[in-house]
Chains A and B, each alone.
Chain A
């Protein structure tokens, strides 16, 4: 297993265009998280999945954002009608949650950097 993979690593787009990011988690991990990170700041939570179910969404996730995790494997994060304020690093992380109290640990991908011109 090569860890958490994200694609593309860099995306430059014009305002108003749609973009999609893909995340492939560690294969045995049942939880998948999306975070957004702007320069010099900590990651901000966007959403997470338990298998294929999207269990929580942040207020940051406007109607232009949508995330899916079909079949509980890879996940996609789509941003429609991009705005300059969407420019950020989009981080994916996965973890194994066994359904009982315990500290599941996030394993992060390298991130997908979005620049909106």
Chain B
């Protein structure tokens, strides 16, 4: 079974600075998808960014970008120009490309943004 690990339970960053959240995963498959979800305090989870494993180019969404290292099974999230609204729990998630597979989430990293 696939597993997702986030080794940083908590991180903090100064407003306007850059922070990187780590994620590693374990799989024997070659085709899959990776996601970062954000869960603000007492609010619902929303998608931040996604990456298809067959794409070598790292995904980017405005201030959010990923560093996808397929051989190392690593999928880190970089947040540039951090804003107070970025404070949240961040979850890394994996989904197999095999039809019928569910999403597997990591334990999360709590990000604090300091003014």
Chain B interface (Cβ < 8 Å from any Cβ of A): 4, 6, 31, 33, 35, 37, 43-47, 50, 52, 91, 95, 97, 99-100, 102-108, 110
Tell whether, in the assembled complex, residue A41 and residue B100 are in contact, meaning their CB atoms are under 8 Å apart: no
Total interface residues on A, using CB and 8 Å?
A: 25
A93: which B residues are within 8 A, CB to CB? Answer: 45
Chain A interface (Cβ < 8 Å from any Cβ of B): 4, 33, 35, 40-45, 48, 50, 55-56, 91, 93, 99, 101, 103, 105-111
B44: which A residues are within 8 A, CB to CB? Answer: 4, 108-111
A48: which B residues are within 8 A, CB to CB? Answer: 102
A-B contact pairs, 6 of them (CB 8 A): A42-B91, A43-B105, A45-B103, A48-B102, A101-B99, A105-B47
The CA of A35 and the CA of B45, in the complex, are separated in Å by 12
Shortest Cβ distance from A42 into B: residue: B105
Q: Beyond A103-B52, A108-B44: 18 further Cβ-contacts under 8 Å?
A: A4-B44, A40-B107, A42-B106, A42-B108, A43-B45, A55-B100, A56-B102, A91-B45, A101-B99, A103-B33, A103-B35, A105-B47, A106-B35, A107-B47, A108-B45, A108-B46, A110-B43, A110-B44
